[in-house]
A and B are shown apart, each in its own frame.
Chain A
Amino acid sequence: MSADIYQPYLMRVEETTDEAPGIRTLKLVFQDTVAGQNFSFRAGQFGLYSVFGEGECTFCIASSPTRKGYIECSFQQVGRVTRALRSLEVGDTVGFRGPYGNWFPLDEMKGKNVILIGMGIGLAPVRSVIWNCLDLRDDFRDVTVIVGSRSVDLLVYKRELRQWEEMPDVNLVKTVDPGGETPDWDGKVGFVPTVVEEVAPSPDNAIVVICGPPIGIKFTLLSLEKLGFSPDQVYTTLENKMKCGLGKCGRCNVGNTYVCKDGPVFTAAQLKSLPQEF
């Protein structure tokens, strides 16, 4: 029997975590244990998550490939499928197709300083890289994590932010947009591009991973350029609408580049060479 590329794995919801208003993380385990054992992915890859009766939806895998036996996704409720995903309870069934697409250059990052920047829900794919680096901490030199959000309540992975803050070998910088702070906020107040310039990481022997809203990425790239980073050192993701994830349904392309197949991870240099239609 030939493989049917549209068939999802059946997953069981193991845990649900409310990250911020409207944002939830699901921890999913494979119902078929053999499939679970054979499953592997790389940080940055994505999948199609489905609620039966509602449809499929594309997110990155937000957990680290170093943590075996489960995957996690974090999503904001915006439409039909995410509303249904958010209403799931522990024990419910979810469909998953993946892993799809390329990944962040973890191999290339070995022996280098890594600067990992996540803005808003864009921290999800970066979180996969963060835990991947931290679980193999000796492979990397300085680990700087810069996390930004519109407001304190919208920060995702709050529990993990505290963990990273307490780790002596992680330099965590957290910031919220001006006006988004609370009286007891102990992080910075300012937009991520400004904060990146304040933190001023050195471009020497370094690689940057940055995910977030397009406008945030655009201006942070300018800040990184000012600090002397070349566009080849900076990796980000494109988050286009997808249906198949397999290079066929025809909607995620930017020019002749398919985000689902050639991406979702691109260097800033690659983005510059694409038609500006993303």
Chain B
Amino acid sequence: MAEFKLNEAKLDELVNALKSEGYRVVAPVEEEGVFVFKEVVDPGEMRLDVLRTARSIKEWFFPRVEPTLRYKFDRGSVTCKGEMPQSPPKTVIIGCRPCDSASLPILDKLFDWDFRDEYWFKRREATTVVAVACDAPDSYCFCTSVGGSPDGTAGSDLLMRKTVGGCYLFESFTKKGWSIIETAKGTLEPAGQNEKVLVGEVPKRFDLNSVKPWLDNNFDHDYWKEISYKCLSCGACAFVCPTCHCFDIQDEADLQGGVRLKGWDSCCLPIFTRHGSGYNPRDTRDARYRQRVMHKFTYYVDKFGLTACVGCGRCCVSCPIDMNICTVVAGAAELAETST
């Protein structure tokens, strides 16, 4: 139940209040013609009306490339320094959509699996996530097919919902979310009893329950060849995806020393699984695209009990040849229905 609301005209004040409390404010900001999550310098550049940023909020927890180690060479010996962030800056991400927030608890499972990746969790602890419910989802959205909704709360500390009267209702779910309300109290006003909220509708495209059993039994189905025939193996889908987490580890150095880097990778790239011998267990596009779908819709479910797709639609929008994971999975669900 939302107790507070913020008039749209006071968004600048909200940003300033958070900044003066020491928060690094991150929000959708235009950069070279696209919207991405960036630190807000001028409150006016924050754009809460952007439905789908080019990339997800993932990079604020799991950067595209980050050092894990720096080393120096000194007459044959090596000295190393670990690069794990000990106390990342207190950050608030404002204006991500509920699908992006939902990706965070999904990835928590992976990064906490047995070996705990503190690079992820240090930033998770330092960051408050304020999502904005979607009042105008588009045809690429399919959150409702993978367990989410346009005003879903998973992974968010606070949810803002737009009202007919040009306000945002504030509802917090965690201590971190409440701290935002406390900080911004001067800009907020009490919410009315019957505020009319604008929340869009996302039609359900497939039945998730029928997808997994079909995938589990159809590793060798011709479907994989059919759908991945046009895949370019470019990997764009993975880089824009909020839940794709595969990474590479590489060294870069000169004569004085260097750095070990952990950076995003993609299962669609042929080199991803290629052995030193040249042998590649996933040497065809269909094997790689199948891996992408299987990983999200069955392997991840087996491991962690969650589907690793939030239905944001970014991979579909970004694909140069219009591969659409929603259509692919819906197709699998259809095959599941016709085969029973």
Binding site for B on A (CB under 8 A): 1-8, 10, 50-57, 76, 78-79, 82, 91-93, 95, 214, 239-241, 243-244, 246-256, 261, 275, 277-278
Among the listed A6, A10, A78, which residue makes an inter-chain contact with B78, where contact means beta carbons less than 8 Å apart? A10
A5-B116 CB under 8 A given contacts A78-B277, A249-B247: yes
Cross-interface CB contact of B82 among A4, A248, A261, cutoff 8 Å: A4
B291: chain A residues within 8 A (beta carbon): 253
Does any Cβ of A come within 8 Å of B182's Cβ?
Answer: no
Q: How many angstroms from the CA of A214 to the CA of B281 in the assembled complex?
A: 11
Closest B residue by C-beta to A239: B275
Closest 6 CB pairs of A and B: A53-B253, A250-B246, A78-B276, A6-B68, A256-B302, A256-B299
B43: min CB distance to chain A, Å: 35
B275 touches A251 (CB 8 A): no
Which B residues lie within 8 Å of A93 (CB)?
A: 76-78
A1 / chain B contacts, CB cutoff of 8 Å: 86
A247 to B84 alpha-carbon distance, docked (Å)? 19
* Interface-centre pick from A247, A248, A253, A256 (highest chain B CB count, 10 A): A248
Q: How many A-B residue pairs have CB under 8 A?
A: 138
Closest residue on chain B to residue A91 by CB atoms = B76
Chain A, Cβ-Cβ closest to B113: A247
Q: A272: shortest Cβ distance to chain B, in Å?
A: 14
Interface residue ranges of B7-23 to A (CB < 8 Å) = none
**B84 in complex: contacting residue of A4, A54, A244, CB < 8 Å:** A4
Collect the chain B residues with CB atoms within 8 Å of residue A277's CB. 219, 281-282, 287
Q: A238: nearest residue on chain B (CB-CB)?
A: B281
Decide yes or no: A79 and B117 within 8 Å by CB, A52-B251, A54-B251 being known contacts: no
**Chain B 236-258: CB-based contact to A (< 8 A → 1; otherwise 0):** 00000000011111110100011
Q: C-beta contact mask, B261-297 vs A, less than 8 Å → 1, else 0?
A: 0100101000011111101011000010001001100
Whole-angstrom CA separation of A51 from B116 in the bound complex: 25
Contacts of B103 in A (CB 8 A): none
Q: Would you call the interface of chain A mostly helix, strand, loop, or mixed?
A: loop
Verify B258–A53 contact, CB threshold 8 A: yes
- Given A53-B251, A248-B110, A261-B113, 20 other A-B contacts at CB below 8 A? A1-B86, A2-B122, A4-B118, A51-B251, A52-B73, A52-B257, A53-B73, A55-B251, A56-B251, A76-B276, A78-B277, A239-B275, A240-B273, A240-B275, A246-B114, A246-B115, A250-B267, A250-B295, A277-B219, A278-B281
Q: How far is the CB of A57 from chain B (nearest CB, A)?
A: 8
Closest to A53 in B: B253
**Closest beta carbon of chain A to B244's beta carbon, Å:** 8
Q: Which residues of A contact B82 (CB under 8 A)?
A: 4, 6-7
Check if B281 sits within 8 Å of A261, measured CB to CB: no
**What would be 12 A-B contacts, judged by CB atoms less than 8 Å apart?**
A2-B116, A3-B118, A4-B82, A6-B119, A52-B257, A56-B251, A57-B276, A76-B276, A82-B276, A244-B247, A248-B117, A277-B281
- Taking the closest CB of chain A, its distance from the CB of B173, in whole angstroms, is 26
A50 contacts B251, C-beta separation under 8 Å: yes
Judge whether B117 and A255 touch: CB under 8 Å.
no
Known: A249-B248, A250-B267, A253-B295. A52 touches B78 (CB 8 A): yes
Q: Is B214 engaged at the interface, CB distance under 8 Å to the other chain?
A: no
Complex Cα gap A249–B122 (Å): 19
Contacts of B60 in A (CB 8 A): none
Contacts of B303 on A, CB cut-off 8 Å?
A: 256
Q: Are A261 and B247 in contact (CB under 8 A)?
A: no
Contact partners of B232 in chain A: CB under 8 A: none
Establish whether residues A253 and B245, one from each chain, have CB atoms under 8 Å apart when the complex forms: no
Q: Is B69 positioned at the interface, with any CB of A under 8 Å from its CB? A: yes
Contact residue among B84, B113, B258, B294 (Cβ-Cβ distance under 8 Å from A52): B258
Q: How far is the CB of B80 from chain A (nearest CB, A)?
A: 7
Smallest CB gap from B248: residue in A: A243
| Chain A residues within an 8 Å CB radius of B250 | 55
Check B258–A92 contact: CB distance below 8 A: no
* A244 with B118: CB separation less than 8 A: no
Residues of A near B302 (CB, < 8 A) are 256
Knowing A52-B253, A256-B302, A277-B281, the reply to whether A243 touches B275 (Cβ < 8 A) is no
In the complex where A3-B118, A246-B114, A248-B113 touch, is A240 in contact with B68 (Cβ < 8 A)?
no
Complex: how many Å from CA A278 to CA B287? Answer: 11
Least CB distance, A33 to chain B, in whole angstroms: 16
With A82-B276, A250-B295: A2-B245 Cβ-Cβ less than 8 Å:
no
Task: Determine if B273 and A244 form an interchain contact, defined as CB atoms under 8 angstroms apart.
Answer: no
Nearest CB on A from B291, distance (A): 8
Contact A247 B258 (CB under 8 A): no
